[in-house]
Structure 1
């Protein structure tokens, strides 16, 4: 009977140590690849979010600024009666200064702007060092005027439009027939209920009576609009819209305040906004020089607006070390590890170049 030799099976300690070392090296490589891929994903995702936020911010700003001063067919040269308090010869309050469709405030320090900001929280808690732009114009599509009771010129406090017009009490509106226009505050809206000889079915009665102003509304110093607007008359909502940078929780954001409403956060992560205004000096509808707000010689000559935005990521620790950036011609090295990117666009005022 042949004997089968007995052999020892298994690994030596040296072989085990070598295998473990190789395994650790492979695991370290895999972890490095995964960490690098995750970091690359975070950076790319952060850049994509910054670019998308910039695109959306410019979309909102461009849409509003482009239409600054648009009041339907009541263009330049159309006489306008402004019935809002305080009334002539006093200048209109900031929110009702509809004769100036575009207005800017240049940040001159961490707490100051030129010209000085309006009082009463019209632009609440803006971040210093950031410019502010104010746009005035039409808010919605026009509604046709169907009746305007009164004499000639009518002096009643009523205008009738199609029912369901959407107009509300305290709305600031403009009525125009392209030959003349008037601005007033709606003090009451009567919607027909059953048979009403004063407000026929199918119509809303918009009352614009005189009254004392409040903290939120100017009131009307007169109810006379100066003309009968039933022939081709249209009614549109108008408002003052202010854009500024303000802190939201722990990050800066672009805010918009419409009239006396609460300010709304529009886009997060907008750290800075610097604005220049293009003035047409030779009446050829083209900007000849760009100036900051305090240096604009004539706001009526502004035909374009150049806006620069600095955006940052909401999340910190995106990069391995602080990343220097250039904005408004100045190189800055931050103390955090957020990503930042600067964007600039030029917006043409349609109602000044056509």
Structure 2
């Protein structure tokens, strides 16, 4: 008897299939579209981030420049004890004077320099390197708010007298033996404190880093009297225009009655609030400046793609600036700074 062995039927294995050409092309196209979308998103995000960074830098530079200039104007005219400036004559030193004898101080008669003094574009200023041809200039003069007891060689100091028996109310010199004025105790062994002379000049330069051909960035710079000369440092770059208006106190109460671009000129036809005021003495007009309106035009460091500047900018001049029609974004920053050491003494009278 023959035995039949059952045959197990094995299901045939499913054959593996690859992508067809059409499927491959579709998947590649979708991948390319996705990559293009991501690249476009990255590019737009990067451009927006750069534009935001440029604008933020412009805002920071504009506000910082205003802050620095306003602080200096507020400190202008500080000459130690209030009675020194109150009873003294005023002088207008040369803009780039460095010699102690030429800085505007004198003991007989007691004389101090102008607290603030402006210069129109075109002023001769060898101490201001890279000065832009159209830049206005602001000089601020005072003495240090931090007194010292011993003089440093080469640094000019103001020493004021607190002793009624002293023959002079002030001494201004760069030599230690010259400082003999005394304190209220009138003790010859205890001389009065010394305060270093401070002269700071603000102007616009055509570059921030000016080595070689320069970087071409308009910059607000400050020249500071130091060790017998002027040292220059950048305050903020991107500041391409500056206009200053000076508030003149016509009636002696400390408050500015009229704002003019040049107090040295005759403004009797424009400033009619005090008709009896005499505009014929420029030095007196500058002495009566009790406020300074600072207006700055700041631009971004680099151009913004797709941006065309069609606007005009009012800095307080008779004619607005612009339009520039370039790719730089701009903004006007303005602040009114009070010359507190001049105005304050008048208000208390």
TM-score (norm 2): 0.71
**Candidates 136, 153, 162, aligned match of 1:169:** 153
Relative to structure 1, is the Cα distance of residues 331 and 21 closer, same or farther in structure 2, using a 3 angstrom cutoff? farther
2: CA distance, partners of 1:307 / 1:79: 28
Structure 1 equivalent of residue 87 of structure 2: 78
- Name the SS of the counterpart of 2:247 in structure 1: strand
8 Å CA contact 2:250, 2:288 repeated in 1 = yes
- From 320, 328, 331, the equivalent of 2:314 is 328
* Aligned match of 1:18: 26
- Structure 2 residue 172 is matched with structure 1 residue 184: yes
Given that 1:306 and 1:346 are in contact with CA atoms closer than 8 Å, whether structure 2 keeps it comes out as yes
Normalized per residue, which structure has more helix?
2
Residue in 1 that maps onto 2:304: 318
**Distance in 1 between residues matched to 2:172 and 2:90, nearest whole Å:** 9
Aligned 1:109-188 pairs, distance under 5 A? 112=122, 116-117=123-124, 121-143=126-148, 162=149, 165=150, 167-177=151-161, 181-187=169-175
Aligned: 1:340 with 2:349: no
Corresponding residue SS for 1:327: coil
Q: What stretches of structure 2 of length at least 5 have no aligned partner? A: 1-8, 98-102, 105-111, 185-191, 208-213, 268-278, 280-284, 345-349
User: 1:262 Cα shift?
Assistant: 2.4
Instruction: Name the count of aligned residue pairs.
Output: 279
From 72, 75, 80, the equivalent of 1:67 is 75
- Residue 287 of structure 1 corresponds to 256
Structure 1 residue runs of 4+, over 6 Å off?
A: none
Equivalent-residue separation in structure 2 for 1:169 and 1:290 (angstroms): 41
Q: Which residue of 1 aligns with 2:206?
A: 247
Q: Match of 1:308? A: 295
Q: CA deviation at 1:42?
A: 0.6
Q: Which runs of 5+ in 1 are unaligned?
A: 83-90, 144-161, 188-205, 209-224
SS in 1 for 2:131: coil
> Aligned partners of 1:92, 1:322: CA distance in 2, in Å?
44
Q: Counterparts of 1:5 and 1:173 in 2: how far apart (Å)? A: 103
CA shift, 1:275, in A, is 0.9
The 3 A distance-change label for structure 1 pair 181 and 171 is farther
TM-score by length of 1: 0.70
Q: 1:105 to 1:81 in 2, by over 3 A?
A: closer
Distance in structure 2 (CA, Å) of the matches to 1:289 and 1:2:
109
- The structure with more strand, counted as a fraction of residues: 1
Offset of 1:67 from its aligned partner? Answer: 1.0
- Shift in Å at residue 348 of structure 1? 0.8
Separation of aligned partners in 2, 1:81 and 1:67: 17
SS of equivalent to 1:27: helix
- What is the deviation of 1:20? 1.7
Residue number in structure 1 paired with 2:195 = 236
Give distance in 1, aligned partners of 2:160 and 2:324: 52
Contact kept in structure 1, 2:204 and 2:218, CA below 8 Å: yes
Counterpart position of 2:46: 38
Task: Tell me the CA shift for residue 30 of structure 1.
Answer: 1.0
**Aligned partners of 1:176 and 1:6: how far apart in 2?**
107
Q: 2 CA distance for matches of 1:61 and 1:252?
A: 17
Q: In the aligned structure 2, how far is the partner of 1:132 from the partner of 1:92?
A: 14
Quote the offset at 1:104 in angstroms. Answer: 0.4
